[in-house]
Structure 1
Amino acid sequence: MMLRYAIYTFAAIVLLHTLWPMKAHAQSATPVPRVSQCQAIAGALPSATFASFTPPIFPAQAAGEEVSITYVGHSTFLIETPGGIAIATDYSGWYKPPRLPTVVTMNKAHSSHFTLTPDPAIKHVLHGWSDDGKPADHDLVVGDVSIRNVTTDIRSGYGAMEPNGNSIFIFEVAGLCIGHLGHLHHELDDSHYAEIGRLDVVMVPVDGGLTMGAESMSRVVSRLRSALILPMHRRGPPIDNFLSMFDEKFDRSFAESDNVIVSLRSLPGKPLIYILKGV
């Protein structure tokens, strides 16, 4: 009897010591990194381009959610998520969104794309460059939107290129992958497209030379194969110069408003270049 009791006691002690470290370890474990659905889908389709004309299947509740995109001016759009998060792209303060953004993204090619004195009430200020010589690295979740960036180079003084001076910001919300190319100065390579992944909506500078020429920019847009293309940053040349770079595989339309409401279900089946009012 005493021997049986001793065996049970010893077994209980061993079990306690075995489980206790596991529990402590579970509490202190590093969280699993967030997985980008845009990158994951692109990676799962190695023989395809990085975006599809046919929206992939997502949960029904996400498919019906709508994202509002309003053209504010120059390269600034206001993106409003179903969860109430407001994001202003290439925010300089020159073009005021109709509401205070929760998040602003910036690029430093020109002062019309950034400000070093944003409203302190803005909760998240994301620079597309870094001051320490390393690439800017953003990967955060704010409310119902995930935000990340892919850096590119920019032209600096005397024609030299500054590594990682611009960021393509990507917003994943309501099952959509929305990208803003920023002040893109060069065509992208395979590593950029792999990092970007799928873009359902892309905001593209169409100035014809301050960023890239229309032909170079059209090659980037064609490779991304987004369902909805929103021109921005038009300075000088007419928008027709950019539109003429695309064949019958792309539709084009001039909006009567500065706003578009988009969801997975409403994405056009054929790529659409949609020029919002004010561009």
Structure 2
Amino acid sequence: MPAVIAVAGGLKLAHVKPTEASSDREPLPVSTCQAVAEGWQSDKVQLASAKPVNREQVRISFIGHSTYLIETPEGVTIATDYNGYIGNNDAPTVVTMNKAHSSHYTLKPDPAIENVLPGWNPNGGPIDHDVVVSDTYIRNVTTDIRSGFGSREADANSIFIFEVAGLCIGHLGHLHHDLEDRHIAQIGRLDVVMVPIDGGLTVGHERMSDIVKRLRASVILPMHRRGTPINAFLDLFGEDFDRQFREQDNLTVTLRDLPKQPTIIILQGV
């Protein structure tokens, strides 16, 4: 994976994975999520680590804002949109970051973090992550962000997908625009999706509800919840979506126990 170091002007990649194929390059991991979405023989698909897909529990905890902590069966911990704060938890194994606002990244990540994955390329152009960490395969799909005076900065946000225990878990990051067909194809199947619902700083509620419906995940976890009341988002879904307000800040999911009806779950936190 690319090593990442913090410098005065921001994060600097010590190495960026080449975009063109080369003979000495390691083969990329296989995406089970894309394989299932495209109708491949998914029962024969294995990750690049050669470990077969399993169906064990994954725990997802809401830390706050856009940060969720994902805990895998083999003990990998992943903090999304990491800004330096993860509550009382130990330093995670992996952090992902996005740069639209300082609340979604830090230029001084804890040195104990083994894998720091920025959603943008400090050297310019798109960033491309294909990382296997123990039982988890992590990849990204880049999108654009709004910049000054109404312009757009290409490939400056990443949707991260975490493939673990047979589950496909997606985090939309600081999404600023609709997803095109190519984005949907690159993302593949999602069982769980973390969605910003502020209604203004990211995609508006109506457009975000359309995105959620297109992604067809079984579990929808709202985040970035400051701003317009959450009911304004929930009201855009019909009776085919269940809604659950939990008293806990976490849940466990397995592939075999996913709800049959798409379910929006609001965990405790802000």
Distance 1:69 1:252 in 2: 18
Question: How many equivalent residue pairs?
Answer: 241
Deviation of 1:250 (Å): 0.6
1:186 to 167, 174, 177: 177
Partner of 2:103: 112
**Is the contact between residue 70 and residue 79 of structure 1 (CA under 8 Å) also seen in structure 2?**
yes
Q: What one-letter code is carried by the residue in structure 1 that aligns with 2:146?
A: R
Counterparts in 2 of 1:1-279, with a 5 A limit? 31-44=26-39, 62-96=53-87, 98-279=89-270
Distance 2:248 2:228 in 1: 22
Deviation of 1:133 (Å): 2.0
Task: Give the match's secondary structure for 1:194.
Answer: helix
Q: What one-letter code is carried by the residue in structure 1 that aligns with 2:63?
A: V
Q: Deviations over 1:11-57 (max 9, x none)?
A: xxxxxxxxxxxxxxxxx976543210101111228xxxxxxxxxx86
**Is the contact between residue 55 and residue 166 of structure 2 (CA under 8 Å) also seen in structure 1?**
no
- Shift of the 97–270 alpha-carbon distance from structure 1 to 2, 3 Å rule, reads farther
Partner of 1:10: none
Distance 1:240 1:58 in 2: 42
- Shift of the 97–157 alpha-carbon distance from structure 1 to 2, 3 Å rule, reads farther
Unmatched tracts of structure 2, length 5 or more: 1-22, 46-51
Structure having the larger proportion of residues in helix: 1
**Is the contact between residue 89 and residue 105 of structure 1 (CA under 8 Å) also seen in structure 2?**
yes
TM-score, reference length from structure 2: 0.85
Q: Deviations over 1:69-112 (max 9, x none)?
A: 00001000000000000000000014435221000000000000
Unmatched tracts of structure 1, length 5 or more: 1-27, 46-55
Q: What one-letter code is carried by the residue in structure 2 that aligns with 1:138?
A: H
Deviation of 1:58 (Å): 8.6
- Shift of the 169–97 alpha-carbon distance from structure 1 to 2, 3 Å rule, reads farther
Q: Deviations over 1:161-206 (max 9, x none)?
A: 1000100000000000000000000010000000000000000001
- Shift of the 95–40 alpha-carbon distance from structure 1 to 2, 3 Å rule, reads same
Q: Deviations over 1:117-143 (max 9, x none)?
A: 001110000000012221010001001
Distance 1:39 1:97 in 2: 35
**Is the contact between residue 28 and residue 130 of structure 2 (CA under 8 Å) also seen in structure 1?**
no
Distance 1:105 1:145 in 2: 14
Q: What one-letter code is carried by the residue in structure 2 that aligns with 1:252?
A: R
Q: What one-letter code is carried by the residue in structure 2 that aligns with 1:213?
A: G
- Shift of the 76–194 alpha-carbon distance from structure 1 to 2, 3 Å rule, reads same
